[in-house]
Amino acid sequence: MKVAIVANNVPHTQKVKDRLIQKFIDRHFDIDQQAPDVVVTIGGDGTLLSAFHQYKDRVDKIRFVGVHTGHLGFYTDWRDDEIDDLVVSLQSDNGQSVSYPLLEVQVKYQNEAQREVYTALNEVVLRRSGTTMMTDVYIGGEFFERFRGDGLCVATPTGSTAYNKSLGGAVVHPSLNVIQLTEISSINNRVFRTLSSPMIIAPNDWITIEPEGAEDFILSVDSDSYPKSKITEIKFKVSKKKIHFAKYRHTHFWRRVQDSFIGDGYDN
C-alpha cells in the first residue's frame, strides 16, 4: 500500500506526523506523496478539505483517513493517540471504504471558449464584493425564482454541517445523494421574491443560476475563493464521483452531529 500524509502546520500536528512517518517506515509502507492509495490527514476538517483538493484529480483511486488533533470532526475519525492502531489496521486492509457525495459545478463565461469545472467536498458559494447579487435561479432547466441578496450557497450532505448550517440549512445524512441550496441574506419585496427556505435537490436534478452584472463576483469552493467576472451561467449538480474513506470508524452520523453541536449536556 502506498500512503501519503497531509498535515496542518500546528506544532502538535507536526509531532504526530513525525511519529506516523516512523511507524509507516517501521512497517515497510511505501510513502508516496504523488500517487498514493491512501491519504492520511492530520489536523481538522479543514486539513481534509485541503488534502481532497490536492488529490482531487485522483479522487476515484484514493481513499482518505482523517486523524484529528483537536475535536472530533466530520471527516476525521481517529484520535492522534490512536495512530498505532491506525497503522495496524491499514496493514490488514481489505479495501473496504465508505463513500460520500461530491458537488460538481460548471462555470460558463461570456467568452464561450472559457469553461471551468470545480468539484467541492463541502460547498460552493457565489457572492459579489461590491453590490448585492442578482440572479435568476433555475431548477432542472425551469425558471424558479429571481434572487437578490448577498449570495447563494450549494452544499453537499457532508458539507451541510459547515457553512450551510450557519445559513439555516438542514443537516443532511450523507447516505443521501443530494445537494442543498441556501440563500445568504435574500431581499424579499414586491420585485424580488424567493422561496427563502433551504431546498434539497434530487440526484438527477440540477440548479443553474444566471447572475446579472459583469464584475466583482467571488466564487468560493470549500476553503478557496476565486475572483470571477463575465460569468453567464453556473450549473450545480451531484457529481458522478464520490470521496472514499478507508478505515472509517463508524460513528453514528447523528451522534457526531450531537457531539459537535450539542455536547454532553444533552444527556442530562
* Active-site residue set: 45
Separation CA 57–CA 6 (nearest Å): 16
Select the residue interacting with ligand NAP from 101, 123, 147, 206 (CB under 6 A).
Answer: 123
Tell me which residue has cell 450557519: 166
Residue 64's nearest CA partner among 75, 79, 53, 80 is 75
- Tell me: is residue 46 an annotated ligand-binding position: yes
Using rule CB under 5 A, residue 213 touches Mn ion? no
By the rule CB under 6 A, 166 interacts with ligand NAP: yes
Question: Three-class SS of residue 148?
Answer: strand
45 marked among binding-site residues: yes
The verdict on 46 binding Mn ion (CB under 5 A) reads yes
3-class secondary structure, 99: strand
| Residue 22, beta-bridge partner list | none
Q: Is 44 in the site for ligand NAP (CB under 6 A)?
A: yes
CB 80, min distance to Mn ion, A: 16
Does 74 participate in binding ligand NAP (rule CB under 6 A)?
yes
Look at residue 17 and give its three-state secondary structure.
helix
Count the residues of the shown chain that bind ligand NAP, applying the rule CB under 6 A.
16
* Contact yes or no for 225/104 (Cβ under 8 A): no
Regarding 122 and contact with ligand NAP (CB under 6 A), the answer is yes
Window contacting ligand NAP (CB under 6 A); options: 16-24, 45-53, 87-95, 127-135: 45-53
Q: Which residues pair with 124 in a beta bridge?
A: 154, 221
Q: Give the binding site for ligand NAP (CB under 6 A).
A: 44-46, 49, 73-74, 122-123, 158-159, 161-163, 166, 222-223
